[in-house]
Structure 1
């Protein structure tokens, strides 16, 4: 399985969520890049967020965002250490 541009766009949205607060969501405005709008809609369809234009993470979405942000941290740290 490879990372498609669609999956990368979804990971980018998940990486934007502040995991330090469950009271803080995201809003993907209609003026955002079409790839971001589509990614948010797919995350909603997968029950990872509670609104098609962002909103809050669901329980499953929080797990996914934690993993996505951890992976980004690991890959970024490894790149800087090399």
Structure 2
């Protein structure tokens, strides 16, 4: 499995969610970058977010976002070490 530009765009969207507040959603506006709009659609299609333009994380989406954000934290710490 490789990291495609589409997968990276989905991970970028997942890292924008606030995992400490499940009542805080995300809105990908129609003027956003086309890759962000398409990534949100794919995340919705996969059952990770509640709306095609963002919304809230589903339980599976919360788990995926936690992993994505955790990995990003680990890689950023390793980069500065």
Give the TM-score taking structure 2 as reference length: 0.99
Alignment-derived partner of residue 50 in structure 2: 50
1:19 aligns to what SS in structure 2? coil
Measured in 1, the distance between the counterparts of 2:76 and 2:42 equals 26
Q: What is aligned with 2:66? A: 66
Q: CA RMSD in A?
A: 0.3
Where in structure 1 are there 5+ consecutive unaligned residues? none
Q: Structure 2: any 5+ residue segments left out of the alignment?
A: none
TM-score with structure 1 length normalisation? 0.98
Match of residue 35 from structure 2: 35
Instruction: Tell me how far 1:74 sits from its aligned partner.
Output: 0.3
| 1:45 CA displacement | 0.0
